[in-house]
């Protein structure tokens, strides 16, 4: 097994105003463990008036929000019961209901929102009944996000249930292959109680132990960079994506779940050959270029606008809070 490395480069500033609204970041990294390489992103400037949101995971855990089963595979309803504003992130995996789902889009839920529809895809083909002691009417807190760029693209770009099922099937197979290569013994991550469940697969005990091997050296890297608002990550020295938030506070709330997803994806690609080393300049060139992709917009509710920019190498999905002019909340970059 390769030795864990935490190498901190000199802080670099890359300002890449080639495309409209292209960001400028100081970059810390690479921070590396085995085949996963992280670059923390510190904005050159950001609004000091960024709003505070309660992430959906914490809101459900605190019984301040509920995600309801509707018996419609591709449409759930979500409700904010509290006086706080709740942030929902696309890619969150919901366990329970009649079958596990993944949420398609980011969403800002206003206080006492009432039930609001939200698009979803099934990530568990076949089941349509309660499982064990899980509620058939509601979902558990989203403890994980999609950890496969193929599935991310199927959800965010293709928007076809058949494509999502096919990508989930490939993701489960990839996790089994990567984990087997890492542990040097055959391991199947699919759960006997639901072989097609993506969520149960990423809860495989052996897989979770291996994910912790990445978490232990990498989880605290943000402590030395309190102004960071996101990160980019490369697997086998190939850029896989980036997640950037409007404030350091929101980034820290999302960081453990996002890092766990990146580690899970790294394990799925563990048996792939490494490419030549990637550096911060190359990462930011790709992120900047994503802002020049073909644009499309949608508004999943009155508070939320989703802007997608689709370029040859990257899909950028940006969510904004429409109650704040220019108030973007989250940018997700997905490499193709």
| Residue ranges per structural domain of the chain | 5-50+210-292, 54-205
Split at pLDDT 50, 70, 90, the class of 8 is very low
| DSSP assignments along 167-231, one per residue | HHHHHHHHHHHHHHHHHTS-----BTTBTT-HHHHHT-HHHHHHHHHHHHHHGGGGGG-TT--EE
Tell me which of 33-37, 153-157, 276-280 is least confident. 276-280
Taking only the tens place, the pLDDT of each residue in 189-238 is: 999 989 999 999 999 999 999 999 999 999 999 999 999 999 999 999 99
Which pLDDT value is given to residue 326?
A: 74
Task: State pTM to two decimals.
Answer: 0.91
- 173: CB partners within 8 A, 6+ apart: none
- Per-chain mean pLDDT for the chain: 90
Q: Kindly report, residue by residue over 52-101, the tens digit of the pLDDT.
A: 999 999 999 999 999 999 999 999 999 999 999 999 999 999 999 999 99
* Pairing relationship of beta strands 101-103 and 114-122 according to DSSP bridges: antiparallel
Tell me: the pLDDT tens digits for 167-181?
Answer: 999 999 999 999 999
DSSP assignment of 272-313 equals: SPPPSPP-HHHHHHHHHHHTTSEEEEEEEETTEEEEEEE-SS
Residues 226, 231, 236, 239, Cα dihedral to 10°: -150
Phi, psi of 327 (to 5 degrees): -90, 65
> Which residues make Cβ contacts (< 8 Å) with residue 263, sequence separation at least 6?
36, 211, 214, 215, 218
Residue tagged 């644009």 (tokens):
295
- In angstroms, the CA 208 to CA 130 distance is 25
pLDDT computed for residue 108 by the predictor: 97
């Amino acid at each position: 097994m390769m030795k864990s490395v935490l190498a901190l480069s000199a802080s670099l500033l890359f300002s890449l105003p080639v495309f409209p609204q292209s960001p400028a970041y100081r970059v810390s990294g690479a921070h590396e463990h085995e085949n996963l390489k992280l670059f923390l992103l510190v904005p050159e400037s950001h609004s000091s008036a960024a709003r505070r949101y309660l992430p959906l995971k914490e809101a459900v855990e605190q019984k301040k929000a509920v995600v309801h089963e509707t018996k419609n595979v591709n449409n759930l309803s979500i409700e904010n019961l509290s006086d706080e504003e709740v942030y929902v992130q696309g890619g969150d995996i919901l366990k329970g209901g009649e079958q596990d789902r993944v949420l398609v889009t980011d969403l800002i839920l206003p206080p006492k929102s009432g039930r609001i529809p939200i698009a979803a895809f099934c990530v568990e083909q076949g089941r349509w009944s309660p499982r064990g002691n899980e509620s058939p009417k509601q979902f558990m807190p989203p403890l994980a996000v999609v950890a496969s760029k193929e599935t991310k693209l199927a959800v965010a770009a293709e928007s076809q249930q058949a494509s999502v099922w096919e990508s989930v099937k490939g993701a489960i197979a990839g996790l089994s292959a990567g984990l087997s290569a890492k542990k040097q013994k055959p391991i199947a991550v699919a759960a006997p109680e639901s072989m097609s469940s993506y969520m149960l697969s990423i809860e495989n005990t052996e897989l979770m132990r291996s994910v912790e091997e990445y978490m232990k050296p990498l989880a605290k890297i943000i402590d030395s960079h309190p102004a960071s608002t996101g990160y980019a990550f490369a697997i086998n020295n190939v850029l896989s994506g980036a997640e950037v938030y409007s404030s350091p506070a929101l980034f820290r709330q999302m960081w453990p779940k996002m890092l766990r997803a990146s580690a899970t994806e790294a394990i799925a690609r563990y048996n792939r050959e490494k490419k030549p080393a990637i550096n911060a300049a190359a990462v930011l060139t790709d992120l900047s270029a994503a802002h020049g992709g073909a644009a499309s917009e949608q508004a999943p509710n009155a508070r939320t606008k989703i802007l997608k920019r689709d370029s040859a190498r990257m899909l950028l999905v940006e969510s904004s809070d429409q109650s704040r002019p220019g108030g973007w909340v989250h940018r997700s970059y997905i490499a193709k």
